[in-house]
Every structure is written in C-alpha cells, then in structure tokens.
C-alpha cells in the first residue's frame, strides 16, 4: 500500500520484565516479540516501516539491519506521543495513512489490522483506535464514546474517574491516523498528567476539538491485542500463540 506507513513503537525497557533487554526483544516461540510484529505489518505491504528505538537501541538496530525498516531514535522515553513525534522527519514526504502499533503485541494479526484500516478509510476518519472489550479493563486506557458511537476520548487508568474505570472497552494502543492530522495534533499534546508524559491518546480529544472525525473500531478477538509487561504475561502470550499455530 503506497498510501500506508507503519510506525512500530519499540523504545521501552520494560522494567517489570526484570531484564536489561529491550522489552520487545524478549522471545516468544524462539523469536523476539518485535520480529512477530514486523512480519505481520510487512504483510500489509506498506510504503515504509519506521521502528522507534531507545533502550539498548544498538542491539535492535544490529539485529534488524537487513530488514526493510527505518530506525528512529527516541533518546528519552517521554511517552507514546513523543515517540511518534520522532518519526515525523521520516514521514516528511509521505501522504496517507499512518498505522501506529506497539512492538510487544505478537498476537495481532494482519487481518485485524486490515479491518481497522478499511474501517478508517471508509469513514474518512482523522483517527481510528483499535479497541477491545475485556471482562476487566485493568491497566488499559478506557474508551469513552458519544451517543452516535464516535470516539469521545481515551482516559488513561491513572487519570480515570471511578465511572470511567468501570468501562470495559479499552484502548489497545494500535491506531490508524491521517498523517497530516496526526502530526498537526501532536504539536498540541502536553505532558500535563500524572506520568508527565506525552500521550498519543491525547490526539483524540485534540482532533475532535478541531472538528475532525475520530472513531473506535472494536476487534472481535480481544486476545490478539494483548501486550506484554511481565514475564507471566509473556508466558501466557507464548501459550496462546502456540495454540493458534497448532490450530492452523
């Protein structure tokens, strides 16, 4: 897709993994999580794939030096919004849709991403968030919709009210954006939150304020969107991926 670029967020350390490895370099079925993600987004045939690296970036850049990807350095980890900002120069001459995906979601399928992109384009949206409904929203950002179904805002757990914490539809961290709308909105993101970080999710309210259309697209398979923050979660992801391969 000449009108598709992918930004993969892979800069984090993953403190709770109890390892100095970049989080995305921990293995699932013999391959780093990031490898699973890059293979999947490669099936979308994007014009370019930009990988945002930070912690132990030399390790990642060396491992993937033969891959058809471009590396973007986030020297200080100041949040997802800040990470995507670093990809701006690499997308200077690109026009179209930017898919933002985390490097620690090895179960996410190309089919689900295609459905997200089709929905995004059909609705001519400035932004579309891939969401999932879970029995318990846990540590994920909550999806607040308006009556017509359009996305109103995404509230991070640490900033959520008790009513918002009760919401079961969550942000998966995968987004489709119109490129121009995305980078215009990022210039207005501020770090006025508990974490003092620049949240990519804040672009949703900014785009709405600008009168642009933003949507949420809910996946039918929440397990696909599970990320990894701990070794227990890594083991669970590996178990799920093995089961899926056995089914295939």
pLDDT in tens, 107-130: 999 999 999 999 999 999 999 999
What's the structural domain count of the chain?
1
Rounded CA separation 247/40 (Å): 18
Is 190 catalytic? The answer is: no
pLDDT of residue 1: 59
Rounded CA separation 98/102 (Å): 13
| pLDDT of 206 higher than 80 | yes
Rounded mean pLDDT of 202-214? 95
The per-residue pLDDT of the chain, averaged, comes to 92
Specify the CATH number for the domain of residue 114.
3.90.550.10
Among 20-29, 198-207, 237-246, top mean pLDDT goes to: 198-207
Rounded mean pLDDT of 51-73? 96
Q: Give CA separation, 142 vs 169, 176, 205, 217, in Å.
A: 6, 18, 13, 14
The range of the structural domain enclosing residue 50 comes to 4-247
User: What's the Rg (C-alpha) of the chain?
Assistant: 17
φ/ψ of 111, rounded to 5, equals: -60, -45
pLDDT in tens, 70-107: 999 999 989 999 999 999 999 999 999 999 999 999 99
Candidates 16, 43, 124, 168; catalytic one? 16
Q: Exposed, middle or buried by CB within 10 Å (0-12, 13-18, 19+), for 136?
A: exposed
pLDDT of residue 241: 87
């Amino acid at each position: 897709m000449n009108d598709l670029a992918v930004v993969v967020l892979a800069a984090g350390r993953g403190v709770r993994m109890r390892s100095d490895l970049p989080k995305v370099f921990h293995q699932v079925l013999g391959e780093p999580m990031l490898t699973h993600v890059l293979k999947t987004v490669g099936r979308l045939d994007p014009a370019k794939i930009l990988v945002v690296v930070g912690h132990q970036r030399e390790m990642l850049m060396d491992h993937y030096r033969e891959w058809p990807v471009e590396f973007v350095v986030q020297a200080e980890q100041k949040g997802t919004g800040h990470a995507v900002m670093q990809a701006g120069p690499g997308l200077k001459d690109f026009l179209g849709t930017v898919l933002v995906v985390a490097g620690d979601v090895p179960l996410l399928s190309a089919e689900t991403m295609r459905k997200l992109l089709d929905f995004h384009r059909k609705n001519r949206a400035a932004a579309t968030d891939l969401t999932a409904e879970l029995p318990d929203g846990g540590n994920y950002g909550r999806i607040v919709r308006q009556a017509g179904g359009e996305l109103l805002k995404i509230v991070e757990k640490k900033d959520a009210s008790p009513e918002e914490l009760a919401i079961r539809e969550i942000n998966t961290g995968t987004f489709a954006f119109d490129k121009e709308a995305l980078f215009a909105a990022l210039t207005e993101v501020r770090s006025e939150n508990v974490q003092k970080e620049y949240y990519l999710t804040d672009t949703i309210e900014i785009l709405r304020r600008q009168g642009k259309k933003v949507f949420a697209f809910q996946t039918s398979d929440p397990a696909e969107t599970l990320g990894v923050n701990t070794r227990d979660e890594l083991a669970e992801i590996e178990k799920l991926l093995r089961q899926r391969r056995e089914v295939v």
